[in-house]
């Protein structure tokens, strides 16, 4: 698990409007190139590729149960990152929801 993501979840838990606003302001004003969101997308993509690769290995393995713990760890890490994104938008944080929606075209050009 990623310590930065864990910290983000802890401080955003409960729809912390101050933290949500701070993250929004950072992303909007200081991170105009979208590195913050690109980093999240890159991490999610990496986890997805690792899970697919591990599932392929598991399918061809004589002992697939040995790979199960690795798969569970990767899936939990992916869920943690999705939870972080969810918490950034909780409490009807429409500005952040809109920002996340509009980051997708920017990220696909990178």
Share of the chain above pLDDT 90, in %: 35
Residue keyed to tokens 């933290």:
19
pTM for the model stands at 0.78
Q: Say what the pLDDT of residue 101 is.
A: 80
Element (H, E) at 42: helix 35-60
Domain layout of the chain by residue ranges: 3-109
Cα 23 from Cα 31, distance rounded (Å): 10
Q: What is the pLDDT of residues 45-91, one digit of tens each?
A: 999 999 999 999 988 888 888 888 899 999 999 999 999 988 888 87
Contacts 24+ apart (CB under 8 A), 39-48: 40/81, 40/84, 40/85, 41/107, 43/2, 43/81, 44/78, 44/81, 44/82, 47/74, 47/77, 47/78, 47/81, 48/78
Cβ(110)–Cβ(44) under 8 Å?
Answer: no
Average of pLDDT values for 89-110? 72
Task: With a cut of 70, say whether residue 110 has pLDDT above it.
Answer: no
């Amino acid at each position: 698990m990623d310590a930065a993501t864990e910290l983000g979840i802890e401080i955003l838990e409960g729809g912390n409007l101050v933290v949500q606003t701070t993250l929004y302001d950072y992303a909007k004003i200081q991170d105009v190139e979208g590195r913050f969101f690109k980093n999240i997308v890159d991490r999610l993509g990496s986890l997805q590729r690792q899970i697919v690769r591990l599932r392929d290995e598991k399918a061809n393995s004589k002992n697939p149960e040995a790979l199960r713990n690795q798969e569970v760890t990767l899936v939990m890490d992916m869920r943690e990152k999705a939870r972080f994104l969810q918490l950034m938008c909780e409490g009807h944080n429409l500005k952040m929801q809109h920002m996340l929606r509009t980051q997708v075209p920017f990220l696909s050009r990178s």
